[in-house]
Amino acid sequence: MKQALIRAIAGILVAVCLAAIAAAQQIDWIELVPAEDRATFDPAPPPPAHDYLGGEAGGLAAQQPLNFKVNRDLEGREIRIPGFVVPLELDDAGHVTEFFLVPYFGACIHVPPPPPNQMIYVIMKKGIQLDSMYSAYWITGKMSAKTRKTGLGVAAYTLTATEYEEYQF
Amino acid sequence: MTPLVALAAQSLWNRRGSAALTVFAIAVSVTLLVGVETIRGGTRESFARTISGTDLIVGARSGPINLLLYSVFRVGDATANVSWQSYELVSRHPDVAWTIPISLGDSHRGYRVMGTSGEYFLHYRYGDRQALAFSAGEPFKDAGDAVVGADVARELGYAAGDEITLAHGIGAGSFTGHDEYPFRIAGILAPTGTPVDRTVHVGLDALAEIHEDWQGGARTQVDSSRHPHDGDAPEDAGADTATQPSPAGITAFLVGMRSKDAVLQMQRALNEFRGEPLTAIIPGVALQQLWQIVGVADGALLVIASFVVLAGLIGMLTAILASLRERRREMAILRSVGARPLHVFTLMLLEAALLALAGVLVGVVTAHAILAGAAPVLAGRYGLFMATDGPRVYDLLLAGAVVGAALVTGLVPAWLAYRNSLADGLTIRT
C-alpha cells in the first residue's frame, strides 16, 4: 500500500517534470523571424555603419530598417532558447535580472546590434549568476511578441524568464 | 553530558596558557576569514547597488571600466571632457527620455564635488531602482545652492542652510580655493550606501560660473560681481534665471532611453559618432566586466583565508596531541573514579569544540570591530560600503563550519585518548 502510494507520487512528479519540459519548446533564432521572411533572412551580423548621429540626431533612426517583423506565433508561448547575455540590471547579490539575449557574442560592442527581431529583452526575477560574459546560456520562459516602435526602429520580443542553464559548446 | 562539559572546561582552565594560545590562533584565522567574507560580500553588493535604471553612461573616449569608475564610483579621473553640443544633441534625441550631466573635478574638504542638473534628483536610481530621497531640505534651485550626501553631512556636521566653499582640484587640503563663491546647503540626501553619500552636488551652471575666471589652471581675476548671492546686480540676476550659462563641456552624462529596445542602437551610434570621440557604456555590462576582474582577486582571498583557518586548526590539533602524553595520568584518574573509555573520548572532543568555539567567538567579534573601524576608510578611499551592522547569518554559517572542522580534527586526539585509556586502564605503562 505504502509502496504503491510512493510509486504513484513518483509517477506524478515525473509526469509534471516532463510536462514542464514539453511546455517549454526549444526554438532556434531563425524562428523569431516570421515564416514568410525566412527565405530572404541573412543570419550574418549587419554590416558596420558609421556616424548615425551625423549632424542631426534624426540620422540615427535612418540606419535601422523599419521593416523587421516579429513571429506572432510565438506570443504567449513557453520557449527555451540559447544565446549570449548583455546585462542591463543587477540585483544586490550581483545577479543579472534584466538583459538582452542575443544570438552572437559581442553584439553590442564589436559589430552593430542584431536586428530587432533577433534580440530578446529578458526579465528574470531570480537573476543569472553570470560567471563570464563569454558564456552562453539556455533561457526558459514565456515569450511576448509585441511590436514596439521607437525612433531607432521596431522591436520585438520580451521574455519573462524562469530558468537558465549554461550552454555547453 | 553537562558534567563532561564542565570537566573539559576545567581541564582547559588548568592548562590556560597553552589553551589561550590555541584560542588565539583560531581567533586570528577566523578574524581573517570573516573579514575577507564580509569584504567580498560588501564589494559585490556595493558594486551592484551603485547604479540602476540608467541605460547608458557617456563620456570622452576611454575604456568602459575607467568611465564607469569615474562617473559612478568617483574613483580616478576623466581623460577629457564631452562637449556641451554633443550632450545637447543626445538629450534632444526623440528616443531619449532623460539625460543627467555630470561635471567632476572640484572637491570640498576631501569629498568630490559633482556638478549636475535638477534631473539628477528626478532620474538617478540605485539599488533596486530606488530614487534619491532627501533627509532634509530640497534639490538646489539656483546657482548658489548645494546638496550634500549623507556621509558628508554627518562627518562634517552640516545642516541645511549652512554655507560652504569649494576647492579647485581633488584632495583634502587643496590650497587654491573658490572662497569668493560660497554655496548654501539646500538639502541633505538620505543615506544610500553608494558613492552618492560622499558627494557634494552643485548646479552645473554654478560650476561653470566659478571657473569662468580661471585661465591656464589659475585664477586670473576676481570679479566679485559674479558672486552667486549678489542679488543686487540686476543684469546678473536676470542671466541666472533666463539664459543659463551653458558650460563648455561636461565630464560625462547618464542617459535614460524611452524604450530599452533602442539601448544597443544608441550605444553603437554614440561610439561611432564622428562629431566627437565618445564612449558609451551600458552600466550593467561594465559592472559585470569590473566584477570579473575584481572577482578573481576576491576568490583568491577566500582561498588564502581558508588555508589560514586550516593552519589554525592544525595548531589546535598539535596542542591537544602534545598534551595527550602528559595527561595519561589524568585519564587514569578519571578511569579510576568510574569514567568509561567513551567518556574519555567525549571529553577530548568537547575540549576541541570548546577551544574552537572560544576562538570563533573572539574571531567574529574582532573581525566586526575591525570592520566597523575600517568602514569609513574603505568607503572614502575605495568606495566600498560594508554592512557594519554586526554579525550576520552568513557569519554564523562560517562559525559553524569552523567548529565543525574543529570537531572533525578533534576526532584524532579523541580516538588516541580512547585507545590509550583502553590499553592503560588504571595503570600507565611507560
Chain A positions in Cβ-Cβ contact with residue B260 (cut-off 8 Å): 88, 98, 100, 121
> Which sign, positive or negative, has the C-alpha torsion A35, A37, A40, A43?
negative
Q: Does residue B416 carry a pLDDT above 80?
A: yes
Give the span between the Cα atoms of B186 and B222, in whole angstroms. 25
Q: Does B259 contact A155 at a Cβ distance shorter than 8 Å?
A: yes
Which residue in this structure is represented by grid cell 587640503? B173
pLDDT > 90: what percent of chain B? Answer: 18
Band (B323; pLDDT cuts 50, 70, 90) = confident
Check if A137 contacts B (Cβ < 8 Å).
Answer: no
Q: Measured between CB atoms, does B393 come within 8 Å of chain A?
A: no
| Integer CA distances (angstroms), B250 to B55, B58, B66, B68, B426, in order | 19, 10, 16, 15, 87
Query: CA of B265 to nearest chain A CA: how many angstroms apart?
Result: 6
CB A81: neighbour CB atoms within 10 A? 25
- Could you give the ipTM of this predicted complex? 0.73
> pLDDT grade, residue A147 (50/70/90)?
low
Which region among B5-19, B156-170, B379-393 has the lowest average model confidence (pLDDT)? B379-393
Residue A31 backbone phi and psi in degrees, to 5: -75, -10
Crossing angle, helix B283-326 and helix B341-377, to 10 degrees?
140
Q: Do A60 and B287 touch (CB under 8 A)?
A: no
A positions 62-121 inside 8 Å of B (CB): 63-64, 86-94, 96, 98-100, 107-108, 112-113, 116, 119, 121
Q: What is the pLDDT of residue A17?
A: 54
Q: CA-to-CA distance for B204 and B248, rounded, in angstroms?
A: 11
Name the packing angle between helices B341-377 and B393-424 (round to 10°). 150
pLDDT at B242 over 50: no
Q: How far apart are CA A99 and CA A129, in angstroms?
A: 12
What phi and psi values does residue B89 have, to the nearest 5 degrees? Answer: -60, -45
pLDDT for res B222: 45
Query: H or E stretch including B319?
Result: helix B283-326
Where does residue B46 fall: left (phi above 0), alpha (psi -120 to 50 degrees), or beta otherwise?
Answer: alpha
All 3 cell numbers of residue A12? 506524478
Q: Measure A94 CA to nearest chain B CA, in Å.
A: 5
pLDDT at B383: 60
Average pLDDT of chain B is 81
